[in-house]
Amino acid sequence: MSAVGSAHITLLAPLAGWSTPLEEAPDAVFAGRMLGEGLAIDPTAGTLYAPCDARIIVLPASRHAVTLRTKEGCEILLHVGLETVALAGAGFEAHVREGQQVRAGDRLLSFDLDFLAQRAPSLLTPIIVMAESGFRIVRCSLDRELAVGEFLMEVERLHEHSTVASAATAAQSGPAASASSASGVVSARAAGASIPAGVTRRLTVTFEHGLHARPAALLTASLKNLAAEVRIASRGREANARSTTAIMALGVRRGEVIEIHASGPDAAAAVRALSAALEHAAAAPRLPAASLAHATAPASATGAPALAGALTAAGSTAGAGAATLKGVVASPGMAVGTAVQLQRPEIDIRENGAGIEEETAALDWARSALRARLERRADVAADNEAEETARGIAAAHLALLDDPELVAAARALIARGKSAAFAWRSALRRSAEALSALPDERFRERVADLIDLESQMLVALAGGSVAAAAPQLPAAAIVIARELLPSQLSALDPTRLAGICMAAGGPTSHAAIIAAAIGVPALVALGPEVLGVEDGTPLLLDAALGILEIAPPEARIVAARAQLDARRAWRATLEAAARRDCRTADGVRIAVFANIGSQAEAQAAVRNGAEGCGLLRTEFLFLDRQLPPEEAEQREVYARIAVALGERPLTIRTLDAGGDKPIAYLPLPPEDNPALGLRGVRTSLAWPQLLRTQLRAVLGIHSPHCRLLLPMITDVEEIDAVRALLEEERRALGQRAPLALGVMIETPAAALLAERITAAADFVSIGTNDLTQYTLAMDRGHPQLAPRLDALHPAVLRLIARTAEAAEAHGRHAAVCGGLASEVLAAPLLVGLGIHELSAVPAVIPELKARISGLDSGQCRALAQQALAADSAAAVRRLLADPAALPPDSGDGL
């Protein structure tokens, strides 16, 4: 009854209750889909049934969850409630055992609903189609009451051999294969024969509940950007470390020793990543909210804090962990420090005014005082990313301050007898409410700017300033607030600010952007519990995994500080090495440039060893404003960026508007298919005055290192049309030297016409983001297709190879400036395909250069030939992970 065809499976509701989206589950591992897609059921009865015919592959001793595998290979996790592993089986009864075959509708577990309701933070029961098993949800029954056995969802296989599990099985042919169990766990001895030499580390798991779903998901996630083959062995059994199910099926308990074995190009990095993730998972048990108050009492209160619940070298002692909260990463990094709660200044305001004239005058005076302050901030010549961000935010606040609707609404309230403060606050809150109701999160996050402006105005009306009200921070302060306002954050002493935690807020709020700009790690959406943390409590903020540890044991803090120091030292070594020009080990020159979008990023690029800018995205100058930037404004910005780059090349891309980057002041028609509509060079040619202004601005900086790049080209006529305008403007300006005009290869049309296009252009740079979107016919913003939108698809690689060959035939080198250039894993392949210039995000440049300097170009070419002959992107990724196909990395990329 469950199979609808070879790869289509129907799942029936395994328990009665209300079905909701996974986002409703207050747990980042589930809501963030770290394990896979699915939904959650809020149960109304305490029995869990099999949703389809399948085998039970994981049933932990805590009996709080069951993982099944269908005969087609689809793995489904049914996880009753959240944090229920902590109940250690209390309240649960199992009716099946691991390895048992069940039929749809068979009883799996019973649980005591009332008991769980009192002890678990949520009863929401996630039903997850495990991503690694290679199935996707076709349709599902959401937001409705379900009875047991009703239709829940239909899933289908993504494509053959696309999964980690299948890769692992394939790798274990012969005797190992016969040893593999239903869960993906194999006998270590049997599998051992096929394990290539690599890096091994033994560790003791001290995590309170062993390796259950959450730590397993964190472990697999930690390996996401690494290519090594990694296995975890315990008690003579072994699992692929990229398979959550297989890790869970090992059934590793607290105190047991596991062995991590990695092989492949970045084996050392993989073992490090896995160890760090294990350490975090171990040290970060989530506690039900109710127990937080108790847990946040400083661990030293007893004089003998429990030892870290961390993963330690085999044989050392284990202990209880600290309370932790999970949030959303707004600015990456790690911090160790002490808690400082920051409240918004409470300002008492009168509702009734002292007279229309008096209140109007007060409003006008406060607006001009605030305007003067904001203008000073917006006019500062920004020398770094932080100042540039502050400038932009001040400019946005200025626009709001003069918003005619807001001002008119405030004046109308004053006319009705209200005070200036009351009127201003009411007007802003009305707008904030309207914004909050919009479906787009980015608009909702602008609400914080309105509240910020409200608070700055109220302070101004009361005769003060936000800066004056800012608290003195202790050293290494981790500031906690419900939602930090940009002005509050800017007023804090950055030298004492180690990290930021917000109970609410979003990752694209202005406060988050400032935090990232000043390099302070920040987590948002931690929930109201964080507001209960007492001032002075030691904190460990991990803004890589999104975890805040409250009052962690001293040993944990010492380990984290050591980790921070080690990370800084490693980074410094790479950065020092990155100052040199980049060559492969056998001497082939590969230029490594940076993609940037501002002057601050240009500075960051130089610091990171960029040899130039391969892509300046000029959109930042054109978006979020009422009118296009004038020639002088553009010229000034481009000139500042050129100065920041010194003698290095600067590649300025003309406006790439339209599509997913709409511009308010252009009458762009609504598009049925924005990605296929008026965007890139098409927009520029449709508004030639806009293009001419930009061309004049670029010519106006008189830089011999500057060149121009055109986005979204599909044929030679577009190049000729832009060149004609460029030449006209150049002659009009009386300039002699022509500007080099390059083309982005980001449509299949351009790649297929590469011979003609490279003849017409002065240089070419491959935009793999769009080239992948258009080649695979997958929208680059599509959430469900995101995992398959892979630039390593052989079809994309063939277009890259073709472009590189065409460029060589004209005596030129092709560059890659799309996201693939920032994937260190792909560097050998791109070198092998004949690419001689990569333009990457600044932060990755040191690692990229280190990787390239260890490569042999002949081996890269052989690797590229194999990749071009591959059947899928997954096959190419497997190839890149295969140590036999690739020269091994030295471990740290040096």
CA R_g for the chain: 29
Find the binder of Mg ion among 75, 229, 611, 770 (CB under 5 A): 770
Query: Three-class SS of residue 260?
Result: strand
Q: Residue 673 and residue 685: Cα distance in Å, rounded? A: 19
- The closest alpha carbon to 762, from 649, 638, 601, 639, belongs to 649
Q: Residue 658 and residue 345: Cα distance in Å, rounded? A: 42
Minimum distance from residue 621 beta carbon to Mg ion (Å):
17
> What contacts 16, CB < 8 A, 6 or more positions away?
43, 44, 45, 146, 147, 148
718: partner contacted, choices ligand PEP, Mg ion, none (Cβ within 5-8 A by kind): none
- 690-708 residues labelled b (16+ CB within 10 A) or e (exposed): bbbbbbbbbbbbebeebbb
CB under 5 A: which stretch of 191-199, 478-486, 646-654, 765-773 binds Mg ion? 765-773
Minimum distance from residue 767 beta carbon to Mg ion (Å):
4
Return phi, psi of residue 552, to 5°: -70, 155
Q: How many Cα neighbours within 13 Å face the side chain of 274?
A: 34
Interaction pattern, residues 574-613, with ligand PEP; x per rule: CB under 6 A: ----------------------------------------
CB under 6 A: which stretch of 84-92, 275-283, 768-776, 781-789 binds ligand PEP? 768-776
Query: Three-class SS of residue 765?
Result: strand
Asked whether 240 and 62 are in contact (CB, 8 A), the reply is no
Minimum distance from residue 557 beta carbon to ligand PEP (Å):
40
Minimum distance from residue 382 beta carbon to ligand PEP (Å):
23
617: partner contacted, choices ligand PEP, Mg ion, none (Cβ within 5-8 A by kind): ligand PEP
Active site residues: 510, 817
Is there binding between residue 818 and ligand PEP (CB under 6 A)? Answer: yes
Closer to Mg ion at the Cβ: 486 or 819? 819
Residue type, 276: A
Tokens of 615: 């892509």
Asked whether 713 and 743 are in contact (CB, 8 A), the reply is yes
Closer to ligand PEP at the Cβ: 545 or 615? 615
Interaction pattern, residues 710-749, with Mg ion; x per rule: CB under 5 A: ------------------------------------x---
Q: Nearest-CB residue to Mg ion?
A: 770
Find the binder of ligand PEP among 43, 215, 767, 893 (CB under 6 A): 767
Tokens of 705: 């290192």
DSSP state of 290: G
Minimum distance from residue 650 beta carbon to Mg ion (Å):
19
Asked whether 501 and 546 are in contact (CB, 8 A), the reply is no
- The closest alpha carbon to 592, from 851, 289, 296, belongs to 851
Is there binding between residue 819 and Mg ion (CB under 5 A)? Answer: no
521: partner contacted, choices Mg ion, ligand PEP, none (Cβ within 5-8 A by kind): none
Is there binding between residue 746 and ligand PEP (CB under 6 A)? Answer: yes
Closer to Mg ion at the Cβ: 42 or 746? 746
CB under 6 A: which stretch of 23-31, 558-566, 695-703, 764-772 binds ligand PEP? 764-772
Q: Residue 328 and residue 501: Cα distance in Å, rounded? A: 10
Minimum distance from residue 768 beta carbon to Mg ion (Å):
9
Site for Mg ion in 616-655 (CB under 5 A): none
Residue with tokens 């909702």: 444
> What contacts 758, CB < 8 A, 6 or more positions away?
764, 803, 806, 807, 809, 810, 812, 814
Site for ligand PEP in 652-671 (CB under 6 A): 656
Q: How many CB atoms lie within 10 A of CB 883?
A: 18
Q: Residue 874 and residue 878: Cα distance in Å, rounded? A: 6
Interaction pattern, residues 615-654, with ligand PEP; x per rule: CB under 6 A: x-x-------------------------------------
124: partner contacted, choices ligand PEP, Mg ion, none (Cβ within 5-8 A by kind): none
Minimum distance from residue 660 beta carbon to Mg ion (Å):
10
Closer to ligand PEP at the Cβ: 617 or 707? 617
Closer to ligand PEP at the Cβ: 132 or 770? 770
817: partner contacted, choices Mg ion, ligand PEP, none (Cβ within 5-8 A by kind): ligand PEP
Find the binder of Mg ion among 251, 609, 767, 828 (CB under 5 A): 767
Q: Residue 174 and residue 162: Cα distance in Å, rounded? A: 21
Asked whether 147 and 13 are in contact (CB, 8 A), the reply is yes
Return phi, psi of residue 756, to 5°: -70, -40
Closer to ligand PEP at the Cβ: 325 or 800? 800
- The closest alpha carbon to 334, from 568, 48, 615, belongs to 568
Q: How many Cα neighbours within 13 Å face the side chain of 731?
A: 5
Minimum distance from residue 387 beta carbon to ligand PEP (Å):
25
768: partner contacted, choices Mg ion, ligand PEP, none (Cβ within 5-8 A by kind): ligand PEP
How many residues belong to the site for ligand PEP (CB under 6 A)? 10
Instruction: Outline where DSSP puts E strands in 619-659.
Output: 650-653
Minimum distance from residue 421 beta carbon to Mg ion (Å):
47
Find the binder of ligand PEP among 62, 508, 769, 890 (CB under 6 A): 769
- Name the residues that contact Mg ion, by CB under 5 A: 746, 767, 770
- Name the residues that contact ligand PEP, by CB under 6 A: 615, 617, 656, 746, 767-770, 817-818
